[in-house]
Structure 1
């Protein structure tokens, strides 16, 4: 069984995709994003899945995408912000090199913006982001081998901090 070289978890807008692509380049491996897998399988954006079929349907698609990616992908893997809500997903991550990319609420609002297509932040994004983080932070920390703060860091600096935290070398 192939295991991911690095798994990135954290809230929406933290930079998992950008940092993940940089890490994959530096490690000479492939990058994969389970949100992109879900969108490809459903044939539509996540916001539309939420609107058309609801969050439970999206979470079921997400669980399947994570299971498949963890089993198949040997490179850098980024999980959707809510993937850690699922107990089975957390169990899958138990022995993997998981890094939680963290950021504070002001940075999140700046990055995610107030009008972006984020179904869970449709009303009062600041409060909703705080509530999401209150529900998820301990889960990110539970699955992570390392925590890397992204506040006031460039994506390149975050990628290097991830490599350092996991004691990985560039390809």
Structure 2
């Protein structure tokens, strides 16, 4: 007869909760968002639910990408996706997917990274116009689509983790 509970003889650990009582994992994280053991020094997490202007979003995400923290950049894009105008959600969701794709590629999950890079590129493709004057918030979306395709192909061919900072895209084109 099987057991219906998950009794392993250990006392149940209380769940981590945020200030509103929602379940949140409070374990520290590394620069690629991987959980570290409690008590370990991790990378400061991005606060959730921050409403930024699009320009602030792009600047914050670029800084995190440049530091090799694409997981954290994804969280910045996710805030824009969730708080921005309905008509722009595909743009911000696609940018978040690109950041997560880079995260997976940097963690060594090259197959998952390539899939997410391609999915993100497909999502932002409709926004990818050639004219600098028409690019939303100055984001070089044609350049990002090309970057994502090249990186996806590269990680599939070589099947090894990439350096997130070295492979970070320029959101507004060449510096």
Q: Which has the larger radius of gyration?
A: 2
TM-score of the superposed pair, with normalisation by structure 2? 0.29
Higher relative strand content = 1
Higher relative helix content = 1
* Structure with larger RCO (C-alpha < 8 A, sep 6+): 1
